[in-house]
Amino acid sequence: MSTLTAATAAQPGATRPSARLVIPLLLLLLLMAFLIAVMTGAAGIPAGRLFDALFNFSAADGQIDRDRLILWSIRLPRIVMTMMVGAMLAAAGAIMQGLFRNPLADPSLVGVSSGAGLAAAVTIVLGDLYLPMIAGRLAIEALPIAAFFGALIATFALYRLSTRDARTSIAIFLLGGIAIAALANSGIGLLVFIADDRQLRDVTFWLLGSLAGGTWPKTGALAPALLVVAVAIPFMARGLDLLVLGEAEAFHAGISVQRLKVVAIVVVAAATGAAVSVSGIIGFVGIVVPHLLRLVIGPAHRLLLPASMLLGAALLLLADTAARTIAAPAEVPIGIITAAIGAPFFLYMLLRQRAVATL
Amino acid sequence: MTRLLEASDVVVEINGKRIVDRVTLSVAPGEIVALVGPNGAGKSTLLRTLSGEIKPSAGTIALGGRAIATLPASELAQCRAMLSQHTTVTFPFTVSEIVRMGASPWGKKQDLEPLVARIMASCDIAHLASQIVTRLSGGEQQRVHFARSLLQLETADDRFRPGLLLLDEPTSSLDLKHQLALLAIVKELSATGCAVIVVIHDLNLAAMIAHRLLMLRGGTLFASGSASEVIDDATLRQVFGVADATGIVPNGRPFVLPHSGRIV
């Protein structure tokens, strides 16, 4: 019993020595990613000018003015939005994996992102017809809400499809996810077909996945969803832990399972919907980030969920910084980078997961 | 004697099939009741119904005088703990993390450390504390989940204690030593006033531990009483279709010896 210390009582996840350090370390990583991201770009801002560019609003220096303009109106909104998207995609993945008791669950793999994308595409293409009075504000406010409902419907359908008698079939879960994604993608295809030129440009943006459109209003539109995720985490953590043992076990331990599942589905949909509405479909963040963290800090959700948000924010920010610099002045679509890293990772997990390999 | 658990005319139908048929039973604080019977007699289904996990199609179940259907999950979890027959864990939780999941967040605030240490030692899993639970043997995992249910009972709020422990085949994967150790813990618990209902296949273990045996056949209560009232050749022939398998040990307790039995 010597391994049990006083600290482990407060935190069920802290039996691993690395667990207590993970939040400060991830904050440090996020800070470093942030500094790299603000300094690099088409117009580099060296460390020596960074402080003035960020905080010196009164200087009448041409150089500082130019740096400040680049930072505050172009680079910072994109950086902040990227961090929020990364945090929400990683949290959505981790929560989904707990809900479906399956480490291979990811919103982009099983059709949740496609559902959100379809709803966004419907809003773009048909919104002009049905929502003329709010057409001017469409992109900022209607899109995240539509995407939320698209993600909600997809997650709920997936849940109903794969769960019978409190058991989730992994095979039906993955295959059902493929079917939902295919259905949503065919809907997106139809909308592309009937869209006019301006709408086509907007819809294509979702299909590729990009963080280039980051603006302060979009960042603001993401904030409520991020808040929902952050507030829900402490209330869901114990329930998701117990759900890993099965719905019956969770119920026996006092979890109101039905309510937990509804909350988890709504949070996944809010996070995925909001992320997709501003950045399109960016895959694999939700699967890579929680898996890496489980290896280090274990699967307890009280720590896993906030840590996933921090690591998701840092990794997506680094990936996006790479996306906009490696082929400068052109941009590599971010979806290509996350898929290039995430898809082999997924295959590696699939091979290790013998229960899944035999279905 | 006051009754802790009272079930009357409980019927459970699953997909149109009647699994439990008008079972009436009651359990007093400190009593150990064994549910025995052949495969498919409805023992596990009855236990899961008594736990509140399965809603009965008809009949009522009351725990401490209150209908369990009206109790919120958080309160029910403080009145009773349940050890299921199989629990699969999909993520790499450690033994210590799994045991601590049982700790009730609603009870009085206390230092869990001594409690967890004592329970893990009594279940002989203290040396496994930092191991990943999915890499352990079936019997070791069974002891981990047993420890989790013990912690759940011990961390309940005082007004719900000492409570009720439901065990579904708790000894099925255990070796002889750990079977005896688990049953000793159950005895100790019952001495503190905790009621226990245990589904158990081994009639000898049932006779050894239970104050009362309830024998189920085809979803109905076939026989009920002390071991010597329930375990005899006539009953075993009717319920299990096995003859000549019982005897009496010198202390008067009946025993079952498969060696001498024959299928009729």
Q: Compute the distance between CA of residue A137 and CA of residue A253 in angstroms, rounded to an integer.
A: 47
Residues of A in CB contact (< 8 Å) with B are: 1, 3-4, 6, 8-9, 12-13, 15-16, 101-103, 238, 241-242, 244-246, 248-249, 251-257, 294, 298-300
Task: Give the nearest partner residue to B93 out of A101, A248, A298, using CB atoms.
Answer: A298
Chain A residues near residue B90 by CB distance under 8 angstroms? 101-103, 244
**Model pLDDT, residue A166:** 63
State how far the Cα of A314 lies from the Cα of A320, in Å rounded to an integer: 10
Which of A32-36, A116-120, A347-351, B158-162 has maximum average pLDDT? A32-36
**Residues B25-43: pLDDT tens digits?**
999 999 999 999 999 999 9
Would you state the pLDDT for residue A9?
38
Residue A137 makes CB contacts below 8 A (sequence gap 6+) with: none
Q: Which residues of B43-78 are buried (b: 16+ CB within 10 A; e: fewer)?
A: bbbbbbbbbbbbebeebebbbbeeebeebebebbbb
More confident residue, B243 or A317: A317
| Subunit contact A15:B52, Cβ cutoff 8 A | no
pLDDT for A346? 83
Judged by CB atoms closer than 8 Å, whether chains meet at A244 and B93 is answered as yes
What's chain B's average pLDDT? 93
Which residue among A15, A244, A249 places its CB closest to the CB of B96?
A15
Minimal CA separation from A10 to chain B, in Å: 9
pLDDT at A13: 41
Q: Which residue of B has its CA nearest to A256?
A: B73
More confidently predicted of B1 and A302: A302
Q: What region does B177 belong to: left with phi over 0, alpha with psi -120 to 50, or beta?
A: alpha
* From the candidate CATH numbers 1.10.150.120, 1.10.357.10, 3.40.50.1580, 1.10.3470.10, the one assigned to the domain spanning A3-357: 1.10.3470.10
Q: Is the pLDDT of residue A355 over 70?
A: no
Task: Say what percent of chain A tops pLDDT 70.
Answer: 87
Contact state of B74 with A256 under an 8 Å Cβ cutoff: yes
What are the domain boundaries of chain A?
3-357
Task: Give residue A5's pLDDT band: very low, low, confident or very high (50, 70, 90).
Answer: very low
Which chain B residue has its CA at the smallest distance from A294's CA? B92
Residue A356, pLDDT > 50, answer no
Give A296-336 pLDDT, tens digit per residue: 899 999 999 999 999 999 999 999 999 988 887 788 888 88
> Angle at the Cα of A300 (from B89 to B87), degrees rounded to 5?
15
Q: Which residues of chain B are at the A interface, by a Cβ-Cβ cutoff of 8 Å?
A: 48, 51-53, 72-78, 81-82, 84, 87-94, 96-98, 100-102, 104-106, 111-113, 116-117, 120-121, 126, 129-130, 149, 152
Per-residue pLDDT tens for A107-162?
Answer: 888 889 899 989 988 888 887 666 555 555 555 677 888 888 999 999 889 888 88
pLDDT band at B178 (very low <50, low <70, confident <90, very high): very high
CA distance A91 to A245: 20
Residue A6: pLDDT over 70: no
Residue A116 contacts residue A272 (beta carbons within 8 Å): yes
DSSP A163: E
- pLDDT value, residue A184: 92
- The shortest C-alpha distance from B221 to chain A (Å) reads 25
> In chain B, which residue's Cα lies nearest the Cα of A1?
B126
> Does the pLDDT of residue A43 top 80, yes or no?
no
pLDDT band at A167 (very low <50, low <70, confident <90, very high): low
Q: In what order do the strands lie in the sheet with B32-36?
A: B80-83, B164-168, B195-199, B32-36, B212-217, B220-225
**Mind telling me how many Å the CA of A33 is from chain B's nearest CA?**
29
Instruction: Give per-residue pLDDT as tens, B197-236.
Output: 999 999 999 999 999 999 999 999 999 999 989 998 889 9
Closest CA to B97 of A11, A318, A269, A200: A11
Whether the model pTM is above 0.95: no
Average pLDDT over residues A329-348: 85
- CA-CA distance, B10 to B216, in Å (whole number)? 13
Instruction: Find which of B91, B100, B155 to mutate to test the A interface (most A CBs within 10 Å of its CB).
Output: B91
User: In Å, how far is B239's CA from the nearest CA of chain A?
Assistant: 30
Burial letters for A65-87: b for 16+ Cβ neighbours within 10 Å, e otherwise? eebbebbeebbbbbbbbbbbbbb
Which chain B residues are Cβ-neighbours of A254 within 8 angstroms? 73-78, 104-106
Label residue A4 by pLDDT band (50, 70, 90).
very low
Of A15, A238, A255, the CB nearest to B130: A15
Q: Which residues of A182-216 are buried (b: 16+ CB within 10 A; e: fewer)?
A: ebbbebbeebeeebeeebbebbebbbebbbeebbe
Interface test with B, best of A249, A260, A295, A353 (most B CBs within 10 A): A249
Nearest chain A residue to B87 by CA distance is A245
- Is B90's CB within 8 Å of A102's CB? yes
Q: Which chain A positions have a beta carbon within 8 Å of B100's beta carbon?
A: 12
Contact flag A252-B100 (C-beta cutoff 8 Å): no
* Chain B residues closer than 8 Å to A252 by CB: 51, 53, 77, 81-82, 84, 149, 152
> For position A245, what pLDDT does the model report?
93
User: Going by DSSP bridges, is the β-strand pair B254-256/B246-248 parallel, antiparallel, or unpaired?
Assistant: antiparallel
Q: B161 vs A159, B3, B41, B194, CA distance in Å?
A: 37, 14, 31, 8
Residue range B50-62, pLDDT digits in tens:
999 999 999 999 9
Q: What is the pLDDT of residue B60?
A: 96
- What is the value of ipTM here, to two decimals? 0.94
Highest mean pLDDT among A29-43, A59-73, A160-174: A29-43
Q: Minimal Cα–Cα distance from A156 to chain B, Å?
A: 22
Look at A18-32, A80-94, A309-323, B116-130 and tell me which has the smallest mean pLDDT. A18-32
Q: Using the beta-carbon criterion (under 8 Å), do A249 and B120 form an inter-chain contact?
A: no
Q: Where is average pLDDT lowest: A1-15, A224-238, A299-313, B139-153? A: A1-15
Q: Which two tokens stand for residue B125?
A: 């899993």
Is A248 in contact with B74 (Cβ distance < 8 A)? no
When mean pLDDT is compared across A193-207, A242-256, B88-102, B173-187, the lowest value belongs to: A193-207
Cβ-defined contact of B87 to A249 (cutoff 8 Å): yes
Q: What is the 3-state secondary structure (H, E, C) of chain B?
A: CCCCEEEEEEEEEECCEEEEEEEEEEECCCCEEEEECCCCCCHHHHHHHHCCCCCCCEEEEEECCEEHHHCCHHHHHHHEEEECCCCCCCCCCEHHHHHHHCCCCCCCCCCHHHHHHHHHHHCCCHHHCCCEHHHCCHHHHHHHHHHHHHHHHHCCCHHHCCCEEEEECCCCCCCHHHHHHHHHHHHHHHHCCCEEEEECCCHHHHHHHCCEEEEEECCEEEEEECHHHHCCHHHHHHHHCEECCEEECCCCCEEECHHHCEEC
Look at strands B32-36 and A167-168 and give their pairing: unpaired
Residue A334 pLDDT: 87
Nearest-Cα distance to chain B for A356, in Å, is 11
Closest B-chain CA to A238? B101
Pick from A7-11, A46-50, A331-335, B140-144: least confident: A7-11
Q: Do residue B129 and residue A251 have CB atoms under 8 angstroms apart?
A: no
CB-based contact A251 B52, cutoff 8 Å: yes
Per-residue confidence (pLDDT) for residue A3, from 0 to 100: 38
> Would you state the pLDDT for residue A278?
87
| Min Cα–Cα distance to chain B from A160, Å | 18
